C-alpha cells in the first residue's frame, strides 16, 4: 500500500535518553523533487499568466515604452502634455526625493499607464475586429477585398505566439438577436412541418407574444448580456444539464472511439500506460496555457473556456440540481477493474510516471485476483441511475468514514479509468462490431463507468481504447481536441517496443495501487440495485448501429461544389422521409465559440427548401436537372442557417433564454411553452477534426479516428453523429430505441447510404462533362507541345 510504503520513510524509536529519528533518503529526495516541481509549475503558470494578461502586447514592450518616455527627459520634449509634471508634483514624500529621482519615477509611472492604455486599446480594437462576421457569409474559395483587409488587421493586432487563453479578453460577447428576427426565423423553420391550420395557430401565438410579453423579457436578457460574459452558457449548463433529474447515462453522456483500423499494441496495460501518460502531457500543457488556441482560417480565435475543466472535474448530484466540482493539481486517478476500485498515484519524485511505470501499475491491477467487497461490484450504478436517489444516498451513506474517503478519492481524481475485461473494436468481418463497441462506450454494464466524472477512459483487453464523457461541463469538440492529441502522441511520439510494451525501463520499486475501502449497508445496497435496474433498462433499449460509408467522401462532394455538411444533412432529410414517411423537427449542433464562453446553437435542418428537394427526389416526374437545382438551393439555405447560428443569430438559444426569464418573472407564455416542448425526432451532430497538423492522413491513411456518438434524444426518433475523415470516408453513428416500433438504426443506415448515392448521382452529368473537358484540354495541350 502507498501509505504503508511512505510510512517506512519516517521511523522513530523512544529511548530512555530521548527519541531516535530515522529518515529515508529516498523519501526525502522525493519530497524535495516534488517541491521543486511544484515551484517550477507555479513559476511557469505565473509567467504565462502575465503573458496572457498583457496580450496582445508583451512584457518587453513595457520597457520599450519606458525607454521612449525616459528619452524625452533629455531632448526636452514632453509627449505627456504636462501629465508627467503633474505626477511629479503629486508624488508622496516628494520632499525627501531628489528632483531627478522624481522625474524618473513620474516618467515610469506615466509610461506604465500609457502602456496599459495601449494594451486595452489594442484589445478592444481586436474585439471590434472580431465582431465582424461578414467573412463567414462569403462564398467558399472567394474572399472580398474588405475581408482580406480585415484579415490582415486581425493578424496584425493578434500579436505573436499567443497562448491558449491569450484571446479570451478580446473575444466579443454573444449578441442578443432581435425578437422580430428570431420569431420570423422560427416561423420559417416550422412552416414545412405544420399544416395551414397549425401554422396559423402558431402565427397567432407568436404575434401575441411579440406584441405583449416579448419586449419586457428581451430587456432583461439584454441587461444580462451586458452584465455577464455570455447570456446563454450559464443557464444552458444549469437548466439543460444540471437540473435534469433523469439518468445521465445514454441520455446526456456521449462517447468517442479509438483509431478505426489500427491498434498500436494489443497489450492492455501498455496501451493504457501510453494513453494516460499522453493525457498527463496534455494536462500539463493545458494548466500552463501552452496549447495553441484554435483559430478559424488560422486567424480568428475560438473561446477556450471549456477546456479548463477537462481534468479534475466531477458532477456532484443534488436533490434539485447537480453542481460541477473542478479542482486543481490532482495527482492520482482511480481505476476500476472487475468490481474493484484502485487508486493509482501519477507522480513520483516530482515528475509524471513514465509510460512503462504506468504500464507496470496497470498490469499489477490486472494481475490482482482479490474479490470485490460487499456491494462494490455495482457501486458505480449510482451514477447511472436517477439523480435524486444518488444524491440522497451520497449524503446518507458517503458523508463520513471510509466511504467518504473512497468517494473523495474518485471525485477528486484527475479522471477515471476502467480496465474492461471484454475486447471491443471495429472488425471488418463482423458487421455488428461497431454496434457492440459503441454500446460498450456509451453505457457498458451500467456499473463499470463513473458517469459523473468529466470523462471515463476505457481500456479493452485487445488494446483498444475509448472515452465516455459527461456533457454538462463541455461539448464534444473539447474532448475530441484532447483525444486527437492523445492518439497522435501515443502513436507517433511515445510508441512501443517490438513486444508491444511501453518504451523505457521497468521500475518495480513503485508503491502498488491501493484498493479503495467501502462499507455499504443493506439500505444502500438496495439503492444501488434499483439504480442498476433502472440504468439497465435504458441501456438494453438502445438500438445502435455504426456504419462506414466508403463509396465517396469529402473529396468528391467538394468537386460537386457543395458543402460536405450540407450534403450530408440533406441526405439525412431524404433518409428520414424514406424511413418515416414524414418530415420532422431536426436538430443539428453548431458551435458559438467565436464568442466569449460560447457553447452551441441549433441549426434547424428541415427547411422548406430541404422539403422541396426531398419531394422532388421522390417525385418520378421530376428531372435530375430540377432536383439538382433544388438541391443547390437547399444546400445554400442550410449553409446560411449554419452561418447565422455560428454568428449569434440562431433561434433556439434566444427563445430558451426568453423562456428562463419568463419563469423567473412568473410570466406565462403559451408561445414559449409550445416552442420548448417540441420534440427533436432527428438529432444530428458532426464530429469535427480540429488538429489536422498532428497526423498526415495522406501519408498515414490507416491512422484515422472513428468519431463518436450519443444516445437517442426522442423515444421514437434517431440520434445521428457523423465524422468526415480524409477524402473518402464518412462514419455514421446511429442510435434509436428498440422499444419504438417505428425506428430501426440498421434500416436507417441503409436509407442514409441510398440517399447519399442518389444525391451524388445528380452530379454525374456535371462531373462527366468536367472530365471530358479536362481530357480534351490535356489532349489539346499535348498536341500543341507535339507541334
| Strand 542-549 relative to strand 300-301, pairing | unpaired
Query: CA 675, CA 656: separation in Å to the nearest integer?
Result: 9
| Beta carbons of 157 and 120 less than 8 angstroms apart | no
Element (H, E) at 256: strand 254-257
Phi-psi region of 709 (alpha: psi -120 to 50; beta: other; left: phi over 0): beta
Query: CA 591, CA 648: separation in Å to the nearest integer?
Result: 10
Task: Give residue for cell 455499504.
Answer: 520
Which phi and psi (to 5°) does residue 247 adopt? Answer: -60, 140
Question: How crowded is the C-beta side of 324, counted as CA atoms within 13 Å?
Answer: 21
Lookup: cell for 477: 469538440
| Beta carbons of 139 and 561 less than 8 angstroms apart | no
Verify whether residue 184 is a known catalytic residue.
Answer: no
Question: How crowded is the C-beta side of 383, counted as CA atoms within 13 Å?
Answer: 28
Measured CA distances, 657 to 179, 187, 235 (Å): 12, 18, 8
Measured CA distances, 3 to 10, 514, 534, 756 (Å): 12, 9, 38, 59
Query: CA 613, CA 590: separation in Å to the nearest integer?
Result: 23
Query: CA 578, CA 374: separation in Å to the nearest integer?
Result: 52
Query: CA 457, CA 257: separation in Å to the nearest integer?
Result: 11
What is 706-770 written as a DSSP string? --EEE--SSTTSEEEEEEEETTTEEEEEEEEETT-TT--HHHHHHHHHHHHHHHHHHTHHHHHHH
Element (H, E) at 325: strand 323-326
Give the three-state DSSP class for 551: coil
Question: What radius of gyration do the chain's Cα atoms show?
Answer: 30
Neighbours of 599 (CB within 10 A): 23
Of 277, 337, 352, 471, the active-site residue reads: 471
Measured CA distances, 24 to 7, 19, 513 (Å): 10, 16, 21
- Is the Cα dihedral 149, 155, 156, 157 positive or negative? positive
CA-CA-CA-CA dihedral for 237, 241, 243, 245, to nearest 10: -170
| Beta carbons of 306 and 479 less than 8 angstroms apart | no
Measured CA distances, 708 to 139, 248, 689, 691, 745 (Å): 30, 17, 12, 16, 16
Lookup: cell for 740: 419504438
DSSP state of 617: H
Task: Give residue for cell 524625452.
Answer: 72
Measured CA distances, 288 to 170, 299, 300, 352, 606 (Å): 20, 22, 22, 15, 43
Question: How crowded is the C-beta side of 431, counted as CA atoms within 13 Å?
Answer: 3
| Beta carbons of 686 and 587 less than 8 angstroms apart | no
Query: CA 449, CA 443: separation in Å to the nearest integer?
Result: 8
CA-CA-CA-CA dihedral for 560, 562, 564, 565, to nearest 10: -160
Residues carrying an active site annotation: 471
Amino acid at each position: 500500500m502507498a501509505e504503508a510504503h511512505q510510512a517506512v520513510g519516517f521511523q522513530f524509536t523512544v529511548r530512555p535518553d530521548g527519541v531516535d529519528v530515522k529518515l529515508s533518503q529516498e523519501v526525502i529526495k522525493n519530497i524535495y523533487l516534488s517541491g521543486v516541481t511544484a515551484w517550477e509549475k507555479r513559476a511557469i503558470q505565473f509567467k504565462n499568466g502575465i503573458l496572457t494578461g498583457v496580450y496582445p502586447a508583451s512584457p518587453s514592450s513595457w520597457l520599450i515604452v519606458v525607454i521612449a518616455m525616459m528619452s524625452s527627459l533629455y531632448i526636452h520634449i514632453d509627449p505627456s502634455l504636462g501629465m508627467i509634471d503633474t505626477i511629479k508634483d503629486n508624488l508622496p514624500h516628494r520632499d525627501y526625493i531628489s528632483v531627478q529621482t522624481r522625474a524618473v519615477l513620474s516618467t515610469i509611472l506615466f509610461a506604465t499607464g500609457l502602456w496599459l492604455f495601449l494594451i486595452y486599446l489594442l484589445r478592444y480594437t481586436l474585439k471590434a475586429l472580431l465582431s465582424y462576421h461578414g467573412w463567414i457569409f462569403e462564398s467558399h474559395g472567394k474572399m472580398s477585398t474588405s475581408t482580406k483587409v480585415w484579415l490582415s488587421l486581425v493578424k496584425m493586432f493578434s500579436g505573436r505566439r499567443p497562448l491558449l487563453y491569450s484571446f479570451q479578453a478580446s473575444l466579443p460577447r454573444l449578441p442578443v438577436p432581435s425578437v422580430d428576427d428570431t420569431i420570423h426565423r422560427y416561423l420559417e423553420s416550422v412552416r414545412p412541418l405544420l399544416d395551414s391550420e397549425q401554422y396559423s395557430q402558431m402565427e397567432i401565438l407568436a404575434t401575441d407574444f411579440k406584441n405583449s410579453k416579448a419586449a419586457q423579457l428581451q430587456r432583461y436578457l439584454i441587461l444580462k448580456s451586458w452584465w455577464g460574459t455570455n447570456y446563454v452558457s450559464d443557464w444552458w449548463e444549469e437548466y439543460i444539464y444540471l437540473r435534469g433529474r433523469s439518468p445521465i447515462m445514454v441520455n446526456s453522456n456521449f462517447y468517442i472511439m479509438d483509431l478505426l483500423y489500427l491498434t498500436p499494441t494489443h497489450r492492455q496495460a501498455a496501451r493504457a500506460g501510453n494513453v494516460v501518460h499522453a493525457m498527463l502531457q496534455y494536462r500539463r500543457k493545458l494548466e500552463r496555457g501552452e496549447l495553441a488556441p484554435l483559430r478559424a482560417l488560422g486567424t480568428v480565435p475560438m473561446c477556450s473556456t471549456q477546456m479548463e475543466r477537462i481534468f479534475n472535474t466531477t458532477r456532484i448530484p443534488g436533490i434539485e440540481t447537480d453542481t460541477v466540482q473542478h479542482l486543481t493539481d490532482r495527482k492520482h486517478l482511480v481505476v476500476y477493474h472487475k468490481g474493484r476500485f484502485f487508486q493509482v498515484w501519477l507522480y513520483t519524485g516530482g515528475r509524471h510516471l513514465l509510460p512503462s511505470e504506468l504500464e507496470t501499475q496497470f498490469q499489477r491491477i490486472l494481475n490482482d485476483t482479490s474479490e470485490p467487497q460487499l456491494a462494490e461490484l455495482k457501486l458505480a450504478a449510482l451514477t447511472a441511475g436517477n439523480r435524486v436517489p444518488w444524491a440522497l444516498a451520497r449524503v446518507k451513506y458517503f458523508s463520513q468514514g471510509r466511504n467518504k474517503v473512497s468517494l473523495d478519492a474518485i471525485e477528486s481524481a484527475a479522471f477515471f479509468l476502467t480496465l474492461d475485461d471484454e475486447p471491443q473494436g471495429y472488425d471488418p468481418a463482423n458487421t455488428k462490431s461497431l454496434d457492440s463497441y459503441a454500446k460498450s462506450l456509451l453505457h457498458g454494464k451500467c456499473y463499470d463507468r463513473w458517469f459523473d466524472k468529466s470523462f471515463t477512459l476505457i481500456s479493452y483487453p485487445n488494446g483498444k481504447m475509448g472515452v465516455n464523457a459527461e456533457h454538462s461541463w463541455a461539448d464534444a469538440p473539447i474532448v475530441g481536441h484532447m483525444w486527437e492529441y492523445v492518439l497522435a502522441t501515443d502513436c507517433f511520439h511515445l510508441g512501443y517496443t517490438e513486444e508491444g510494451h511501453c518504451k523505457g525501463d521497468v521500475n518495480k520499486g513503485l508503491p502498488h495501487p491501493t484498493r479503495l475501502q467501502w462499507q455499504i449497508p443493506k439500505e444502500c445496497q438496495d439503492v444501488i440495485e434499483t439504480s442498476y435496474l433502472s440504468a439497465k433498462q435504458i441501456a438494453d433499449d438502445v438500438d445502435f448501429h455504426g456504419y462506414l460509408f466508403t463509396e465517396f467522401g469529402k473529396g468528391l462532394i467538394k468537386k460537386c461544389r457543395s458543402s460536405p455538411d450540407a450534403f450530408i444533412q440533406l441526405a439525412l432529410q431524404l433518409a428520414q422521409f424514406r424511413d418515416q414517411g414524414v418530415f420532422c423537427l431536426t436538430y443539428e449542433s453548431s458551435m458559438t465559440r467565436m464568442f466569449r464562453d460560447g457553447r452551441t446553437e441549433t441549426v434547424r435542418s428541415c427547411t422548406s427548401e430541404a422539403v422541396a428537394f426531398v419531394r422532388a427526389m421522390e417525385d418520378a416526374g421530376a428531372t435530375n436537372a430540377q432536383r439538382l437545382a433544388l438541391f443547390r438551393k437547399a444546400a445554400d439555405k442550410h449553409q446560411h442557417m449554419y452561418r447565422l447560428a455560428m454568428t449569434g443569430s440562431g433561434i433556439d438559444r434566444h427563445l430558451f433564454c426568453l423562456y428562463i426569464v419568463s419563469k423567473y418573472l412568473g410570466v406565462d407564455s403559451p408561445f414559449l411553452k409550445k416552442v420548448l416542448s417540441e420534440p427533436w425526432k432527428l438529432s444530428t451532430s458532426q464530429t469535427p477534426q480540429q488538429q489536422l497538423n498532428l497526423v498526415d492522413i495522406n501519408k498515414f491513411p490507416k491512422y484515422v479516428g472513428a468519431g463518436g456518438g450519443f444516445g437517442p434524444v426522442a423515444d421514437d426518433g434517431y440520434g445521428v453523429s457523423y465524422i468526415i475523415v480524409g477524402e473518402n470516408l464518412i462514419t455514421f453513428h446511429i442510435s434509436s430505441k428498440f422499444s419504438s416500433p417505428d425506428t430501426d438504426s440498421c434500416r436507417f443506415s441503409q436509407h442514409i447510404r441510398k440517399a447519399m448515392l442518389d444525391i451524388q448521382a445528380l452530379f454525374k452529368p456535371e462531373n462527366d462533362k468536367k472530365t471530358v473537358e479536362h481530357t480534351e484540354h490535356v489532349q489539346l495541350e499535348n498536341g500543341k507541345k507535339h507541334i
